[in-house]
Amino acid sequence: MSTVRKYMMRTMNSVCEEDSIEDVIRVMNKIEMSVLPVVDDENKFLGTIYSRNLLKNIIPEQYGFLESHRLLYQVNQAAENLAEIKDRKVKEYMSNNTTAVKENDKMDNIADIMLDNKESYLYVVNNDNKLRGYISRADLLYYLLEVGENQQ
């Protein structure tokens, strides 16, 4: 039975709890990812930071979250709100309850975890909880494709 290690992506960017929100936004933009893992100095996985969480903190409440026709009218307010939080630390906005999977976990269990958590990416750790990579829904689909081909 296949393990996560076979299908996971090993190259990735991460941020630390003490990084600024501005730095996180720049990294997200550069690598075109809307979620990043948060690690400590020893590369231990601590949680994730989502662009969605940041947006919720800068868009005026009376306009709801991401109603694009209203957001266009409130760009200046959102930019001002972002200017107020951009120097704050990741630890203020990160999610600590993120599910991580072990690199030795069986791929058969990954679908349930992804669907239960509604996550597009799951971060992969070793037995010491050190970040090793991530696995995506695309990786899961590739695994299922291989399973189907091996059954024929």
**pLDDT tens digit string along 122-136?**
999 999 999 999 999
Q: What is the mean pLDDT of residues 83-95?
A: 94
Number of compact structural domains in the chain? 1
Per-residue confidence (pLDDT) for residue 123, from 0 to 100? 95
State the pLDDT at residue 69: 57
Kindly report, residue by residue over 46-55, the tens digit of the pLDDT: 999 999 889 8
Nearest to 105 by CA among 127, 73, 88, 72: 127
Domain that holds residue 47: 4-151
Percent of the chain clearing pLDDT 70 (strictly above): 90
Bigger pLDDT: 73 or 141?
141
Confirm whether pTM is higher than 0.85. no
Q: What is the pLDDT of residues 2-48, one digit of tens each?
A: 999 999 999 889 999 999 999 999 999 999 999 999 999 999 999 99
Q: What is the CATH number of the domain that holds 50?
A: 3.10.580.10
